[in-house]
Structure 1
């Protein structure tokens, strides 16, 4: 599947993670370029423990997602993220795999896995999220199609927010980092 709603952003420079074995449905890809190093971007992904960083009125009960890094946050397998996901795989500063585990969310959206990657580029990072769905039945395929459109809107906002916050927190040292100057 190509184009909207299945793919959004420049995905050519990233690597698609392998699909989890039980996810035989559509594969959604969302991607954004960030003018910050991968570790700075990943620090913002860790913030998913405290907020979703999308449309806060809709998915954070109207509370604003923090605009400053929260000191002391760490992530490991089993960490709860956004209240409905659990970390199921992790490569520090590079990959964060989240599996939907909340029973209510599973009933609404069906099983899914989101894999966030920070892919180093010459002048920053590609932040990519792959979403793997199941759709074994006709109703499952319809749900996947509707979810793809909703996810496109929400994930686009989330990734653009992370890009802005990462660039701001990386500060003026990015140009030296991007050109290999210590």
Structure 2
């Protein structure tokens, strides 16, 4: 078991270089989380774009108690670099239909000096795969904090990825 660093990912997905890796010059940790969806990659991508609307995790904690939408929001797929999402993040880069990479809105601040995530969508024989790669600097804090953050991130992101995969497969 690779918890809390890796959940639901294969060795090739863990080894894949992502745009998030380029955003953290001195990574101290790298976590991967992945799910398979019955949805086509195109449909799953539309739900990844919904992250600009809501976090799709535990809404009571990270969405001020408001439920993340269960229907696609028109225009959510019209991404732009610098666009804010999920309170703490901005879009750093994206390749429509393939990847969305976000980074901390205020780089180099807080407990983590740098924190970036790439959400990658790929075809799969069962539909599609959604793999999130989280790259963390955390130079300002020690390994214990990174370990605790890894567990917290796993709990929240597992819920997020499962929710997006299920919603994409249901439509």
C-alpha displacement at 1:106, in angstroms? 4.2
Question: Where do 4+ consecutive residues of structure 1 move more than 4 Å?
Answer: none
TM-score scaled by length of structure 1: 0.84
Gaps of 5+ in 2: none
For residues 89-114 of structure 1, the C-alpha deviation after alignment (integer angstroms, 9 at most, x for no partner) is: 111010000001147x9414442000
Equivalence for 2:159: 157
Aligned pairs for 1:85-104 within 5 A? 85-102=89-106
For residues 132-156 of structure 1, the C-alpha deviation after alignment (integer angstroms, 9 at most, x for no partner) is: 001335x332221111000010000
Conserved 8 A contact 1:48-1:82: yes
Conserved 8 A contact 1:30-1:128: yes
Aligned CA distance change for structure 1 residues 98 and 163 (closer, same or farther; 3 Å): same
Equivalence for 1:63: 66
Equivalence for 1:111: 114
- In structure 2, distance between residues paired with 1:91 and 1:80: 17
Equivalence for 1:11: 10
TM-score scaled by length of structure 2: 0.89
Match of 1:41 among 41, 44, 57: 44
Larger Rg: 1
Equivalence for 1:126: 129
C-alpha displacement at 1:118, in angstroms? 0.3
Count of matched residue pairs: 166
Aligned CA distance change for structure 1 residues 99 and 37 (closer, same or farther; 3 Å): same
